[in-house]
Amino acid sequence: GKRQDIAWAVPMVAPLASEILLASNVIINVTVPAAVAAAMGLLTPEEAGKIAQRAGFVSSGIPGSNVNAEAAAKLALEVMRAP
């Protein structure tokens, strides 16, 4: 390439850039469906997070995406149960 002086950094930066670029997909692909399923009473937050992570077409390979989805699902469930 044109910048051999910084070529060494590409392998270290690529995973970080990938994570930033996929962050919005995780929200749409995993977090929102899990929160909606839990809020509708179809699944527990734990089940919703696991299923949403497996079903997320683009972001299913991101480890730990079910953790944030589960947290959002629990919050959605609390909001729905609030008076």
Q: Which regions of the chain are under pLDDT 70?
A: 19, 22, 25-26, 58-61
pTM: 0.65
pLDDT of residue 25: 67
Tokens of 7: 């070529």
